[in-house]
Amino acid sequence: MKISSQPKAIVVGAGILGIAYAKTLAARGYHVDVFEKSEKAVGSSIRNFGMIWPIGQPAGTLYDRAIKSRSIWIELCKSAKIWHKKTGSFQVLSNPLEFELGKEFLERESNHREGLQLLDKSETLAALSIVNKSNTMGAIYSGTEIIVESREAIRVIPDFLTETQAIKFHFSTAVVEVMPNKIRTAMNKTYEAEIVVICNGYELNLLYPSFFKTSPITISHLQMLRSERITATIPALCAGLSFLHYKSYDKLPSLAIYEHWVKDNYPKHFFHGIHLLVSQNYQNQLTIGDSHDYGLHHDPFQIESVDQLILDYLNEIFDIPDLKMAQRWTGQYLKLKNNSSEWIQEIENGVWVANGPGGAGMTLSFGMAEDTISQMIG
């Protein structure tokens, strides 16, 4: 292999994880080539809520990683002039069981997290103009969440990194083969590097089909909606069903009872893995979701009744006048089935897989790259 003064790295995929590893490798002195098969990234990184969501991460390594990512996001957004908003988040609690979970969460977590508060009904109504008064008992407020418009951010960051660091993005360039310290593109060009990092998200099967089949992974398929602009300005929102979706709430004393309650009272929502997240972008549009369906194959057809279940729940918790949908789409992400927080593995000499933040890639990727880079480059 050719030895140059500046070590070379190759990253496959220009989603948030590819961007995070490219940035981190460049900061360690590597010249980085990033290969992205599409003209612009179109994977999960542009299909999400743009929520940097530390509140969903369990206290300890992952919460600290989320907070580290958050600082990197803020610094990067400021430098690259990318819109971002420190909104904090409200989880609206609609019944005594959810309020009890809120109390248990505050009791257990207040010392481990920044800016947590349990709001009563009047405080919640005062803070949130769009909440449905008859269906609110209170809310968990967290001060750490920020929103980016991921469609904008994921497309602007490559230009900024190209200008400011030793990183070159090769768009419309699919990698079709990976060998030790080497890749081959669809145009039959080969590139060599000391290290190759595969960040191609849920499409790992394209490069390593047998490895993909035998690894403890599944793919989560989600339905999402975006509204037309609304008049109110709102922070990032979620509601009771989110207790069943984030590891931060694991093992709360009343969680098992709540899960039974949800199965009895929201059986279709439970079946489709629906909870409610709402983020607002700089055009005052809302991104609304989501559902979760798991498996290695997913049909491309959006199911109207699932969208309707998401909107029914939204309309129970919030009262947003003249809400009209402007867009609907699906997204997918690779999810680890072995409960690990990341998947970092050298699968051939000098070839690493970096994957696994699942439904929290926007929240965790920058911190994950910082925390794991030494495994790859020593």
* Ranges within 333-352 binding ligand FAD (CB under 6 A): 333
Q: In the complex with ligand FAD, which residue's Cβ is closer, 45 or 242?
A: 45
**Rounded least distance, CB 212 to ligand FAD, Å:** 12
Q: In the complex with ligand FAD, which residue's Cβ is closer, 181 or 223?
A: 223
By the 8 A CB rule, do 140 and 116 touch?
A: yes
CA gap 199, 157 in Å, rounded: 16
Q: Does 331 bind ligand FAD (CB under 6 A)?
A: yes
Per-residue x/- marks for ligand FAD, 130-149, CB under 6 A? --------------------
Write the secondary structure of 235-280 as one string of H (helix), E (strand) and C (coil): CEEEEHHHHHCCHHHCCCCCHHHHHHHHHHHCHHHHHCCCCCEEEE
The interaxial angle of helices 361-377 and 61-80, nearest 10 deg, is 100
**Rounded least distance, CB 277 to ligand FAD, Å:** 7
Q: Does 16 bind ligand FAD (CB under 6 A)?
A: yes
* Of 140, 148, 222, 320, the one binding ligand FAD by CB under 6 A: 222
- CB under 6 A: which stretch of 1-9, 127-135, 202-210, 225-233 binds ligand FAD? 202-210
* Ranges within 163-182 binding ligand FAD (CB under 6 A): 174-175
Q: In the complex with ligand FAD, which residue's Cβ is closer, 199 or 310?
A: 199
Q: Does 41 bind ligand FAD (CB under 6 A)?
A: yes
Exposed/middle/buried for 100, CB within 10 Å: 0-12, 13-18, 19+? middle
Q: Does 51 bind ligand FAD (CB under 6 A)?
A: yes
Q: Does 376 bind ligand FAD (CB under 6 A)?
A: no
- CB under 6 A: which stretch of 245-253, 263-271, 358-366, 369-377 binds ligand FAD? 358-366
Q: In the complex with ligand FAD, which residue's Cβ is closer, 45 or 136?
A: 45
> For residue 300, what are its two tokens?
């491309």
β-bridge mates for residue 287, sequence order: 226, 279
* Of 131, 219, 360, 376, the one binding ligand FAD by CB under 6 A: 360
Per-residue x/- marks for ligand FAD, 77-96, CB under 6 A? --------------------
What contacts 141, CB < 8 A, 6 or more positions away? 88, 89, 90, 115, 116, 117, 118, 119, 127
Q: Which residue is nearest to ligand FAD (CB)?
A: 361
Q: Report the run of H or E that residue 191 belongs to, with start and end.
A: strand 190-192
Exposed/middle/buried for 75, CB within 10 Å: 0-12, 13-18, 19+? exposed
Q: Does 293 bind ligand FAD (CB under 6 A)?
A: no
CA dihedral 104, 105, 109, 111 (to 10 degrees): -60
| Closest to 275 measured CA to CA, from 227, 322, 224, 333 | 224
- Report strand pairing: 89-93 vs 138-142: antiparallel
- CB under 6 A: which stretch of 74-82, 89-97, 336-344, 356-364 binds ligand FAD? 356-364
**Rounded least distance, CB 59 to ligand FAD, Å:** 17
* Of 30, 53, 249, 366, the one binding ligand FAD by CB under 6 A: 53
CA gap 355, 198 in Å, rounded: 8
> For residue 102, what are its two tokens?
């809120």
DSSP per residue, 109-174: HGGGSSSEEEEEHHHHHHH-TTB-GGG-SEEEEES--EEE-HHHHHHHHHHHHHHHSSEEEETT--
* Of 22, 24, 25, 49, the one binding ligand FAD by CB under 6 A: 49
Residue 27 neighbours by CB distance under 10 Å:
14
- CB under 6 A: which stretch of 88-96, 296-304, 337-345, 357-365 binds ligand FAD? 357-365
Give the binding site for ligand FAD (CB under 6 A). 12-18, 35-38, 41-45, 47-51, 53, 174-175, 199-201, 203, 206-207, 222, 224, 289-290, 331-333, 355, 357-363
